Each structure stands twice: as C-alpha cells, then as structure tokens.
C-alpha cells in the first residue's frame, strides 16, 4: 500500500511567543510498514500546552523536537495496516507518539486500545486521556482534598481545569475558577464551580482571589504560573497544597530566566507545601483514573466541552489558540477519518 502523508515539521524555534511560521507542512509517500509496526490514520489530533516546551531551543523535562522533524503530538487513530499479530486493521488506538500528521507508522509499545463503549474516541485525548487523568491523579495524590476545603484552579475552563472543578465539587470542596473571560467563567459555573475570578478584568487579583476564597486557598491547582500564581500564593490557608501542573503563562518567555516574587514567608507561616506534578510519572494509575472518569461521565456526573478545528492544515492555529486563551474546552483537530464517530 502506498499512501500520501501530510505532516508538519518544526521549521524554526520560536523567539518568544510561537507563530504559525515556526512550522511547515510537507508531504511524502508511505509505502513500508516494518515488522511489529502498524500504519494508522489519524481521526483526532491533540494540541497541548506541553508542546511549547518541546519546541524550545532550551531542553525541558523531555527531548525536544529537532528542526525539520515531525512535530510531536498525541492522536486517536485507526489502524489501517498491521505487521503485528496483536493489532488489527479497524481497531482504534490512542498514542502520544503520533505527531502532527495524517498517517503514522508506529511501533506498538505506547499504544492504548480505545474502547468506544466507555466514551467517544476523541475522549481518549480529553477527559479519558492525558488532561482528565492529570486532573484526577494530581488532585487526589498531591492535593488530597477534604470536604469543606477550598480548591482554586487556574485555566479552569480548559481541558484539565474542567475536570478538576467537577472532581473538587464531588469531594465536597468549594471550587473556585480563574479564567480569562466571563463566557469561560459562565461555563465553569455550569460545571459546578462556586465562584470565579476573571484575571484579565481584575485590577487586583490578590484581592479578588481573597474575596472568592474567604477562608483561604487549601489547594491551588496551578495550571498557569505567572501573576495568577503570585496572587494565589498570597491567599494560602493553613497547610495549603500548591500543585504546580503547568506554566502556560510563560509561553512567550520560555527561554528567559524564570525569576519573580518569592513566597517563602507564606509557605513558612502557613506550613504549606508546593509540589511539581508530571502525569507521566504515574502510568500505573491511568487505568483507575480512566475507569473512574468514564463511570462519572456515564452517570452524568462529569460533563466536558471540546473545541474542534478541522483538517491537518489547522494544527499550528489550533495550538496557538491555547497560548492566546482562545480555546473553549479541550482543543482538538479532527480529520476526515473521524466522520461518523460520536462527539
Ligand atoms: N504536568 C502535567 O503532567 C500536565 C499534563 C497535562 C496538562 N498540563 C498543564 O495543564 C495546563 C492546562 O492544560 P490543558 O491541556 O488543560 O490546556 P487548556 O486549559 O485547555 O488550554 C490552555 C489555557 O491556558 C490558559 N492560558 C493561556 N495563556 C495564559 C496566560 N498568559 N495566563 C493565564 N492563563 C493562560 C487559557 O485559559 P484562560 O482563558 O483561562 O486564560 C487557555 O485556554 C497547561 O499548563 C498544561 O501544560 C500538565
């Protein structure tokens, strides 16, 4: 079988905020599927904030994308040819190793079978995938929420944040959203968040968070770093837990020194804890997280918004939406292959 594949390569490292020209769309024939590999066609391609770190000239916690190489990224895909006895054409898989492309030849380690009975295929990239699982594991294993506590969440209407707020409510906590617009905060209220702070409209973020969290912040689920982090740190409750999950507000100054205010006094006085979290350190917890999230979704206790763009051509624009706060829910790109699947 010979197939024309279109894919995005990294054309240049961003200087500051990435722009569409940092990538280039190319095409090539795929004609060979080596032993123990599969050929899969993307149905849904994911764009995620971690990709900012992978295109930095500076190395992060994972190996970066080299210039001229296919841009990294996860996908839900359909196997169309297999040279492995355990994987069959027609099966759906999820993998973080797909890349921004229409087709991929993949080794089979790292593939997850998508079971359409527990959620629509695209959910494996959202509430049943990395974002939802991040919310579940980070909140439970680092935050350890107790009923009556206040959980503050930045990027609250996004892929991770939507799930955090609903989980916090299900544990009897007060959930407080931080987001960039009233429309996003309205969606957070719809999810069950008790209060919200629009950080773009705020003249005094510290005071607005204090008003929304009158008993202080017991758990700060930090998806953003930056000024929201600084304001949250000044509102910690006794024995607060700060979970550093993402630093998307630094996307435009990724290669600059990460300096700013220090909050050691607040940490000392409140005997607070601040801990970095990486979901890939917790692979053994994925099945339980996914099972629990699927159960909640099936029983109407977890709702979720997904923001779709269409076609491989959209990949850079879809990614840049995240960095400019323009996505409303989990940002995905669907391809023609996804037609007919439930959304
Ligand atoms: N550590 C891990 O293992 C792990 C795993 C998954 C995700 N994450 C992190 O979790 C965070 C959320 O990821 P996601 O997939 O759920 O993305 P998302 O929230 O769906 O989308 C990104 C959101 O970030 C917010 N944002 C962008 N620029 C900002 C700025 N300058 N200041 C404040 N907020 C800004 C925007 O929301 P607003 O409209 O509210 O500004 C935007 O919608 C990211 O930082 C990501 O890196 C970490």
Q: What is the pLDDT of residues 85-103, one digit of tens each?
A: 999 999 999 999 999 999 9
User: Contact at 8 Å (CB) between 275 and 76?
Assistant: no
User: Contact at 8 Å (CB) between 168 and 195?
Assistant: no
In short, whether 41's Cβ falls inside 6 Å of ligand 1 is no
Residue 59 is predicted with a pLDDT of 64
Which CATH number is 3-126+304-338's, of 3.90.1300.10, 3.90.180.10, 3.40.228.10, 3.30.200.20?
A: 3.90.180.10
Q: Angle 130-137/286-298 helices, nearest 10 degrees?
A: 100
Residue nearest to atom 35 of ligand 1 (CA): 249
| Least confident stretch, 56-60, 114-118, 136-140 | 56-60
Is the pLDDT reported for residue 237 higher than 80? yes
Residue nearest to atom 18 of ligand 1 (CA): 158
Q: How far apart are CA 114 and CA 112, in angstroms?
A: 6
Is the pLDDT reported for residue 259 higher than 80? no
Which of these, 200, 154, 159, 122, lies nearest to 327 by C-alpha position? 159
Q: Which of 224, 260, 286, 308 to mutate to test the pocket of ligand 1 (most atoms within 8 A of CB)?
A: 224
When pLDDT is averaged across residues 316-329 and rounded to a whole number, the result is: 98
User: Contact at 8 Å (CB) between 157 and 176?
Assistant: no
Confidence of residue 132 (pLDDT cuts 50, 70, 90): very high
Residue ranges of the chain that CATH labels 3.90.180.10: 3-126+304-338
Residue ranges of the chain that CATH labels 3.40.50.720: 130-280
- pTM of the prediction? 0.97
Which CATH number is 130-280's, of 3.30.1330.60, 3.90.480.10, 3.40.50.720, 3.40.640.10?
A: 3.40.50.720
Residue 52 is predicted with a pLDDT of 95
CA of 48 to the centre of ligand 1 (A): 8
In short, whether 167's Cβ falls inside 6 Å of ligand 1 is no
When pLDDT is averaged across residues 162-178 and rounded to a whole number, the result is: 98
Name the helix (H) or strand (E) containing 318: helix 315-323
In short, whether 103's Cβ falls inside 6 Å of ligand 1 is no
Residue 83, exposed/middle/buried by CB under 10 A (0-12, 13-18, 19+)?
middle
HSE value, Cβ hemisphere, 13 Å, CA-based, for 137: 26
Q: Which percentage of the chain shows pLDDT scores above 70? A: 99
Across the chain, mean pLDDT equals 96
Confidence of residue 337 (pLDDT cuts 50, 70, 90): confident
Q: Which of 246, 306, 327 to mutate to test the pocket of ligand 1 (most atoms within 8 A of CB)?
A: 246
């Amino acid at each position: 079988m010979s197939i024309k594949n279109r894919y995005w390569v990294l054309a240049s490292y961003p200087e500051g905020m990435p722009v569409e020209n940092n990538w280039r769309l190319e095409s090539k024939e795929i004609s060979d599927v080596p032993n123990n590999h599969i050929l899969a066609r993307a149905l849904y391609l994911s764009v995620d904030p971690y990709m900012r770190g992978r295109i930095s000239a500076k190395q992060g916690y994972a190996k970066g994308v080299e210039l001229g190489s296919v841009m990294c990224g996860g996908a839900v895909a359909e196997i169309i040819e297999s040279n492995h006895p355990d994987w069959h054409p027609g099966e759906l898989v999820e993998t973080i190793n797909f890349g921004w492309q229409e087709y991929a030849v993949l080794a089979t380690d790292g593939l997850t079978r998508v079971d359409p009975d527990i959620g629509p295929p695209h959910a494996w990239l959202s509430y049943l995938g990395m974002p939802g699982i991040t919310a579940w594991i980070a909140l439970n294993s680092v935050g350890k929420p107790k009923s009556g506590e206040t959980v503050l969440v930045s990027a609250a209407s996004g892929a991770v944040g939507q799930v955090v707020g609903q989980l916090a409510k299900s544990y009897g906590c007060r959930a407080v959203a931080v987001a960039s617009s009233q429309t996003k905060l309205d969606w957070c209220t719809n999810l069950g968040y008790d209060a919200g702070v629009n950080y773009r409209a705020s003249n005094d973020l510290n005071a607005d968070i204090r008003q929304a969290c009158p008993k202080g912040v017991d758990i700060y689920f930090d998806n953003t770093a930056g000024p929201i982090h600084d304001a949250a740190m000044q509102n910690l409750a006794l024995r607060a837990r700060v979970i550093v999950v993402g630093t998307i507000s630094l996307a435009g100054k990724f290669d600059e020194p990460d300096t700013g205010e220090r909050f050691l006094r607040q940490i000392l006085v409140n005997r607070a804890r601040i801990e970095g979290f990486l979901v890939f350190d917790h692979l053994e917890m994925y099945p339980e997280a996914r099972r629990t999230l699927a159960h909640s979704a099936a029983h109407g206790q977890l709702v979720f918004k997904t923001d779709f763009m269409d076609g491989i051509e959209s990949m850079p624009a879809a990614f840049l939406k995240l960095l400019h706060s323009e996505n409303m829910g989990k940002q995905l790109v669907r391809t023609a292959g996804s037609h007919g699947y439930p959304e």
